[in-house]
Structure 1
Amino acid sequence: MPQPVAEWFSTWFDSPYYHLLYRDRNHSEAQAFIDELLVHLHPKPATRLLDLGCGKGRHAIYLSEKGYDVTGVDLSPESIDYARQYATEQLRFYVHDMRDPLPYGPFDFIFNLFTSFGYFANETENVVALRSAAAALRPGGKMVIDFMNTELTVRELVAREEKTVDGITFQLRRHLDNDFIVKEISFADREGQPQHFEERVRALSQERFEEYFQMAGLRLAEVLGDYHLAPYTEKTSPRMIFILKK
């Protein structure tokens, strides 16, 4: 029998070149966003938080430093291995597929940040993931999904880009493929071997998200449009940040 093809995120996110390509991500901007969210949501000191799709744990670690009880989960074993060096009694990390039930709850807040959603080839799996998250929320708990503003992203898609980081030159190609925004990433690794990876994120509209939320039993409280939490405007906002309530 042929082996099933690995999902793109299970291989790319475990690659050291993924972390190299994105190593200049703005940490101070990410922390400022978290600060804004905490002021906006005002969680109580004993609040239990889940960082769903936590990567190497930068947001989970920062939330823990703020005094909250934090769990971080991610599909990438490499990322979780890295994050675990920061684990404490109030901060723990697990390898976990967001489509599977979450055994670590219940949580008062679940954060899904920086477009860590919409990766699955089968659209119904997006709803499965949201239902798993909703089941791990306490009644009255809140979930935050931070996604790109798809309409703006598609309109301003940069088809070709080249980026050199630490001696590795990445060729980036972006295009639409049916319902997905695709980024193809090609480069020669440190041994000179050609490498090719792909990122595929479903081009989800606000309306599609709202259908998902309804199916997952989550109520949409508000939609914010940037990391300063300005109201969402489809034509100009860089982000779609959904605040949901169970």
Structure 2
Amino acid sequence: MLPEPAEWFSTWFDSPYYHRLYQSRDYAEAQEFLGRLLAHLHPKSGARLLDLACGKGRHARYLSEQGFEVTGVDLSPQSIGAARQFAHELLHFQVHDMRDPLPYGPFDLVLNLFTSFGYFQQEAENVVALRNAAAVVRPGGKLVIDFLNTEQAVRTLVAHETKTVDGTDFYLYRHFNNDFIVKEIRFRDDEGQEQCFEERVRALTQERFEEYFRMAGLRLAEVLGDYQLRPFDPATSPRMIFVLKK
């Protein structure tokens, strides 16, 4: 019996080339967004926060600096290994797959940011992950899911582009396939070997998310449309930022 193929995120997120390709992401803009979001949600000083799919912990560190007790979890051992150098008494990092029940909590606020959802091949796994997140939200607490506006993303998909980062030419090919937005990433590694990775995000609509929320026992409080926290407009907003209450 053949072994199951590795899930794309379990290999790509641990690759040094993933971090090379995306090293120029605008973290200043991300921190401005987090600052606005905290002001909008106004969790109490000292509140317990969960950064679900925290990567290397840059945003969890920022949240901790704002006076919150923060736990960051991610399924990438390499990312959590990098994040743990910044851990302290009120900032913790753990390797964790969101499809598994969370042994941490409860939390006043759970954050799943920058399209860190919808990666799984089986749609039911999205609901399992959401239920696990909801289970660790304190009664009266909030959960925020920040996702791309898939209808706009599919409509404006750039089929091909090339990015050169630190001497590596990355060839990016995007298409829509079987309910997923797919990005194929091709490049030669530092040894000259050809490499190919994929990113796959399920094209979840607002209506599908709302169905998930009902199944997870969450109440949708509002939908924001961008990192300036303007109201969501399906035709023009780049993001769908769901604010949920338990």
5+ long unaligned stretches in structure 1: none
Q: In the aligned structure 2, how far is the partner of 1:35 from the partner of 1:136?
A: 23
CA drift of 1:242 comes to 0.2
CA drift of 1:204 comes to 0.4
Q: Does 1:201 align with 2:201?
A: yes
Q: In the aligned structure 1, how far is the partner of 2:36 from the partner of 2:79?
A: 26
CA drift of 1:181 comes to 0.2
TM-score normalised to the size of structure 2? Answer: 0.99
Q: In the aligned structure 2, how far is the partner of 1:116 from the partner of 1:20?
A: 19
Q: In the aligned structure 1, how far is the partner of 2:203 from the partner of 2:27?
A: 26
Count matched residues: 246
DSSP-derived class of the 1:146 partner: strand
Q: In the aligned structure 2, how far is the partner of 1:85 from the partner of 1:243?
A: 31
Aligned to 1:82: 82
DSSP-derived class of the 2:81 partner: helix
CA drift of 1:184 comes to 0.1
Moved over 6 A (4+): none
Q: In the aligned structure 1, how far is the partner of 2:99 from the partner of 2:229?
A: 28
5+ long unaligned stretches in structure 2: none
DSSP-derived class of the 1:226 partner: coil
CA drift of 1:97 comes to 0.2
DSSP-derived class of the 2:61 partner: helix
Aligned to 2:67: 67
CA drift of 1:4 comes to 1.1
Aligned to 1:163: 163
Q: In the aligned structure 2, how far is the partner of 1:244 from the partner of 1:132?
A: 14
CA drift of 1:243 comes to 0.1
Counterparts in 2 of 1:82-231, with a 5 A limit? 82-231=82-231
Q: In the aligned structure 2, how far is the partner of 1:64 from the partner of 1:88?
A: 10
Question: What amino acid is the match of 1:144?
Answer: V
Q: In the aligned structure 1, how far is the partner of 2:17 from the partner of 2:140?
A: 40
CA drift of 1:2 comes to 1.2
Q: Deviations over 1:78-108 (max 9, x none)?
A: 0000000000000000000001101011000
Question: What amino acid is the match of 1:154?
Answer: V
Question: What amino acid is the match of 1:17?
Answer: Y
Question: What amino acid is the match of 2:114?
Answer: F
CA drift of 1:188 comes to 0.2
Q: In the aligned structure 2, how far is the partner of 1:126 from the partner of 1:204?
A: 10
CA drift of 1:241 comes to 0.2
DSSP-derived class of the 2:49 partner: strand
DSSP-derived class of the 2:119 partner: coil
Aligned to 1:52: 52
DSSP-derived class of the 1:115 partner: coil
CA drift of 1:46 comes to 1.8
Q: In the aligned structure 1, how far is the partner of 2:141 from the partner of 2:181?
A: 31
Q: In the aligned structure 1, how far is the partner of 2:99 from the partner of 2:141?
A: 19
Question: What amino acid is the match of 2:223?
Answer: V
TM-score normalised to the size of structure 1? Answer: 0.99
Question: What amino acid is the match of 1:191?
Answer: E
